[in-house]
Amino acid sequence: MKAFGDIWRSNLFQKWLMAITGLFLVLFLLGHLSGNLLVFLGQAHINEYAHGLRTMGHGAVLWGARIGLLTFFILHVASAITLSRRNRQARPQKYAKVEARSSTLASRTMLYSGLLLISYVLYHLAHFTWGAVHAQHYAQATFILPSGELVPDVYTMVVKSFSEPLITVLYLLSMVMVGLHLNHAIASAFQTLGVTNRRIVPMVRTIGPALSILIALGFSAVPLAIILGLVKI
């Protein structure tokens, strides 16, 4: 038991935990993004998809995924805070110049961009999942699927929300934050997991920025298209 505790507390284990949970969260983002892009195929597609997610396995699949996602999220944040605290304790004096040269702005601000991301996720859940903010847009409308089922109209909720410039700006700024956080995070996760092969390292260096740009631009496409009037009710 003590051996397990020692491993759990070790820096190496905490780094692995942060990397692996982070990569799973990236997979979630890719899945979420592909679902969101259904907005461009029209109202029926996105509403059918959202309804399918909610009712799959009588709701058990969605709840299973939510519990898994929350667990990964908590482990990711906890390991990040633990490592950052240990780093600071181990190095009380700031080597400002050395750090600035060897690291990027994103890498030096990972903890802060991460904490901002948590605020974004809470706001986002309050907006689209709980209807606690911008309640005037929250799934008031219903939609009849081609199968005849009456379901919540996610499409109308999203389009009405992003027709408000303030909401769109808040989301777009948050997506810049998502991009900056992932840009450093993906490359650093692979490094932690020991991807050091000379042929793979350049690929990883490309995959990190490419994926972060794809995710940030992909998520931004929906609010941008709506505010520009390209997607409407």
What residues make contact with ligand HEM under the rule CB under 6 A?
A: 29, 32, 36, 50, 66, 121, 124-125, 128-129, 154, 158, 171, 178, 219, 222-223
- Least Å distance, CB 70 to ligand HEM, is 9
* List of residues 6+ apart from 67 with CB closer than 8 A: none
- Least Å distance, CB 65 to ligand HEM, is 7
- Least Å distance, CB 132 to ligand HEM, is 13
DSSP string, the chain: -HHHHHHHHSHHHHHHHHHHHHHHHHHHHHHHHHHHGGGGG-HHHHHHHHHHHHHGGGGHHHHHHHHHHHHHHHHHHHHHHHHHHHHHHH--S--HHHHHHHS-HHHHTHHHHHHHHHHHHHHHIIIIIS--SSGGGSS-SEEE-TTS-EEE-HHHHHHHHHTSHHHHHHHHHHHHHHHHHHHHHHHHHHHHTT---TTHHHHHHHHHHHHHHHHHHHHHHHHHHHHTTSS--
Which of 128/143 has CB closer to ligand HEM? 128
What the block records as the tokens of 85 is 């605290």
- Least Å distance, CB 39 to ligand HEM, is 8
CB 223 within 8 A of CB 172: yes
- As a whole number of angstroms, the distance between CA 208 and CA 144 comes to 41
Which of 124/205 has CB closer to ligand HEM? 124
- Least Å distance, CB 181 to ligand HEM, is 9
Which of 30/200 has CB closer to ligand HEM? 30
Which of 61/81 has CB closer to ligand HEM? 61
Which of 33/201 has CB closer to ligand HEM? 33
- Least Å distance, CB 96 to ligand HEM, is 31
Which of 79/223 has CB closer to ligand HEM? 223
Which of 36/163 has CB closer to ligand HEM? 36
- Least Å distance, CB 105 to ligand HEM, is 20
